Structure 1
Amino acid sequence: MTGRPRQRRPGAAVLELPPEAPADPAGPATARVTPLGLPAGLLRTARPRQWVKNVLVVAAPAAAGELFARHALTRLALVFALFTAAASAVYLINDARDADADRAHPVKRHRPVAAGQVPVPVAYAAGGALAALVPATAAALCNAATAVLLTAYIAMQLAYCVSLKHVLVVDLVVVSTGFLMRAMVGGLALGIPLSRWFLITTGFGALFMVAAKRYSEAVQMAGKGGATRSLLTEYTTGYLRFVWQLAAGVAVLAYCLWALEEGGAAHTGLLPWRQLSMVAFILAVLRYAVFADRGIAGEPEDVVLRDRALMVIGLLWLAMYGFAVADW
């Protein structure tokens, strides 16, 4: 048999193979949008795992002893839902804005917007609708102060997503302020005055946990080629250690001054629970600092839930504080 090509006879049938499908330019991370997949993708983009942080809305009413006042729980449930919607709006807009960059990331490319499960215009539309709806609902069902705080939170977080997360120190302050706003909003919704000690303790306590998390990220990324946050490489571990140590000291000092000042008032309880709660508070800070010092302090909720000793200390503090509020 020779290697000459065979000639096709006139009229002979020709078998043609179907053309190959073009390669997907977005790679394996692209998913087909389906009617059922879109709501699930929007829910995943809203980060349900982060909603636990919004439990801080009960902080101010609990500190003032007004947590179980009439209509307080109903109002706080509404505020929790509003703050969750506000945070979800920011996540949706942030993921839509960063979709192209996330597709090149080994982990973030699986986010619904980057993967194509949620189209970018839909994410923008859903985030924008929530951002507009939350303050309007707060003004109608709560009060003007709550609406103003939620508007300020959304604006600050969007500014963070666009530019502030690239500014040294300011990024730490913005994230810490987000926690502080969560702690403030419950008091504003119920018309409870916020004491200076509450604001100082909460603000610096938040800065302590945020700086500890950044420090842990910096320690874990030391000697590696990249970082999960572009700004992280501009911080030194020594500076971040200084920040979380300073914040922890200020938070402890403010709490002790508050406990001594408030605890000096006449009470009929069996023990000075407010002053005794200082011991549990300091132990909790010291225990959390162990994880910060080792460079393994990630998300605050993960640190608390994985350490039994810290959970026990936290429960003891809650019990002492509850006894102080009830004046037992």
Structure 2
Amino acid sequence: MYVVQLRPRQWTKNLLVFAALIFSIQKATMDMLMHSVVGFLLFCFVSSCVYILNDFVDREADRQHPEKRHRPMASGAIPAQGALMLGAVLLTGSLATAYVLSPVFGLLLTVYFVLNVAYSFKLKHVVIVDVLIVASGFVLRAIGGGLVIGVALTPWFLICTLLLSIFLAISKRRHEVYALQHDSGSHRKVLESYSIDLLNQLNSIVTTATIMSYALFTFTSGHTVHLMWTLAFVIYGVFRYLYLIHMEDKGGKPEKVLFEDRHLLVTVMLYAFSVALILIYLE
């Protein structure tokens, strides 16, 4: 159950660390690949520490949630003290390794953890801010991926990452509000400040901004303009996710949706493959 507590299924979010490596594939080396793998694992371990802390803080509220009540601490499957001890060991080892790998990367990983601690104790109760904090975690992952291999990411790429992350965070909130309906406040007070109409409106704004920003990125990234062909995968992927949200009431767990929906998974794989192919042969 301790492995379940680490939420390994959510480690897929940390695959964003490899984005910098993919967009630098022309000059990629085995050392860069190894550094990216280490960076990915360190983000996995530190994010698991955040999950442990978050589940510890929310264990009483989670018992009222139709799905989250099955989590190890909420269900009583593992003692809270044991989970916290595991988290302390993982955090210490991960941060120490990160600072050895790169002091700047270690600092970023520390900021990531502190920001998420602030989220667990306070910021997740602040409307709108809670969504932005969740989204910022993805941006830090993208930046971290660049730091571990010594590659700078373009501002447009970071903006695209931020907007897509906000899109996923808003979709997650929408699913929570929809699933819990009028009893949403009994699980998390901040959900009372949201409505389906508001979240739909926010998603419309972010969806438009995401597609436009990515289109601009393909022309201003300093790479070949042939990257613009990958815009088709981005548009379809976003539209497919909107379909899953509005027509199949999904979106509560983005990492689960990715692996359960074959269309979305194939789209992501084709996007990564096409980017690599274009940068290698058409750059």
Using structure 1 for the length normalisation, give the TM-score: 0.77
Does residue 65 of structure 2 align to residue 111 of structure 1? no
Structure-2 residue corresponding to 1:249: 208
Query: CA deviation digits over 1:231-250, x for unaligned, max 9?
Result: 21210112211222211111
> Residue 83 of structure 2 aligns to which amino acid in structure 1?
A
Distance 1:242 1:321 in 2: 31
Q: Who is 1:159 aligned against?
A: 118
- Aligned position for 1:78: 38
| Aligned pairs, number | 281
Equivalents in 1 of 2:40, 2:163: separation in Å? 22
1:254-303 residue CA offsets vs partner (Å, 9 max, x unmatched): 1111112347x6x6xxxx63121112222221222222333422322332
Give 1 or 2: higher helix fraction: 2
Aligned to 1:183: 142
1:96–1:227 distance in 2 versus 1, CA, 3 Å: closer
| Residue of structure 1 in register with 2:194 after alignment | 235
Of 230, 241, 245, which aligns to 1:292?
A: 245
Return the offset for 1:150: 0.6
Describe the shift of the 1:159–1:223 C-alpha distance in structure 2 as closer, same or farther (beyond 3 A): closer
SS in 2 for 1:139: helix
Residue 274 (structure 1) aligned to one of 227, 238, 244: 227
Corresponding letter in the other structure for 1:283:
Y
Q: CA deviation at 1:148?
A: 0.8
Matches within 5 A, 1:260-271: 260-262=219-221
Letter of the aligned partner of 2:216 in structure 1? L
* Conservation of the 8 A alpha-carbon contact between 1:273 and 1:320: no
Residue of structure 2 equivalent to 1:323:
277
Alpha-carbon distance change, 242 to 106 in structure 1, aligned in 2, over 3 angstroms: closer
Give the equivalent residue in structure 2 for 1:220.
179
How is 1:86-97 mapped onto 2 (pairs within 5 angstroms)?
86-97=46-57
Asked whether the equivalents of residues 170 and 202 of structure 2 are also in contact (C-alpha less than 8 Å), the reply is yes
Alpha carbons of structure 1 residues 292 and 99: separation in structure 2 relative to 1, 3 Å: closer
Q: Which amino acid aligns with 1:309?
A: H
The change in CA–CA distance for 1:278 and 1:110 in structure 2 (over 3 A counts) is closer
The answer to which structure, 1 or 2, has the higher relative contact order (CA under 8 A, 6+ apart) is 2
Separation of aligned partners in 1, 2:274 and 2:28 = 17
Q: Distance in 2 between matches of 1:106 and 1:302?
A: 17
**Structure 1 residues 101 and 221 mapped into 2: Cα distance closer, same or farther (>3 Å)?**
closer
Cα distance in 2, alignment partners of residues 75 and 284 from structure 1: 29
Aligned to 1:150: 109
Determine the structure 1 residue equivalent to 2:153: 194
TM-score (norm 2): 0.89
Which secondary structure state, in structure 2, belongs to the residue aligned with residue 56 of structure 1? helix
Q: Is the 8 A contact 2:184 2:191 kept in 1?
A: no
Report sequence identity in percent. Answer: 33
Q: Which has the larger radius of gyration?
A: 1
